[in-house]
Copies of this chain bind each other. A is one copy, B any other.
């Protein structure tokens, strides 16, 4: 009668793993960590639940992999626009700051995801180790950019000063990123990126305002709203 259509397809391991990770991330973002049940993840990845255990030793394992995936992708997205070596060190720093405070890095989904993972730091050593890694990865990149920009301006900074500036700059970016993701309607388009540039500028003593906003200011939803 009808040709015997295969009931399922065998996919390469990396592809299946990624599909499962994406499904988990989507569910966590939309419904919180509690929404990411094995059955829901499997359904969203178009697969039966048994397969999860075939690729990950446990559900916890899958969640950890998803966290790593998400965080690495975010630092990568922030750092990518900085690749161009033709450009001033000051401009590279500005681009980095602005990229971290603009879509797609700064959005509700990313912030929600990140918060879900942070909340497990207290009781999950694996997650804590991963957080530490991704945190230093981001901060060290920022520190290098600051060091270069300061050297370029003829005012090289000491190790301690660099550390302090990197910690503070990272905090501003993180804080603004969170606020923008948590309350997307509370700020005008590009406002947080501008504030980020001014603030990191003030902290480092560099003029960053007019370096990079224009390049990354597009593709944010156009919303403005006064606060109560």
Contacts and interface: CB of A to CB of B under 8 A. Distances in A.
A199 interface: yes
B175 A199 contact: no
Interface string A109-128: 10110011011111100000
Contact of A228 (B35, B112, B136, B186): B136
Contacts of A198: 164, 168, 203
Given A119-B115, A121-B112, A171 B179 contact: yes
Nearest to A194: B164
Interface in A10-40: 28-35
A115 B32 CA distance: 11
B172 A178 contact: no
B111 A118 contact: yes
Contacts of A119: 28, 32-33, 112, 115-116, 119
Contacts of A196: 168
A202 interface: yes
Contact of A32 (B122, B192, B205): B122
A108 interface: yes
Interface string A33-70: 11100000000000000000000000000000000000
A122 B109 contact: yes
Interface in A76-124: 108-109, 111-112, 115-116, 118-123
Contacts of A120: 32
A131 B182 contact: yes
A162 interface: no
Contacts of A109: 122
Contacts of A187: 167
A63 to B, nearest CB: 11
A199 B135 contact: no
6 contacts: A33-B34, A112-B122, A136-B228, A172-B172, A174-B174, A178-B178
Given A131-B183, A174-B174, 20 more contacts: A30-B123, A32-B123, A108-B121, A108-B122, A112-B119, A115-B116, A115-B119, A131-B182, A132-B183, A135-B179, A136-B227, A164-B198, A167-B179, A168-B172, A168-B176, A171-B179, A172-B199, A174-B179, A178-B178, A202-B205
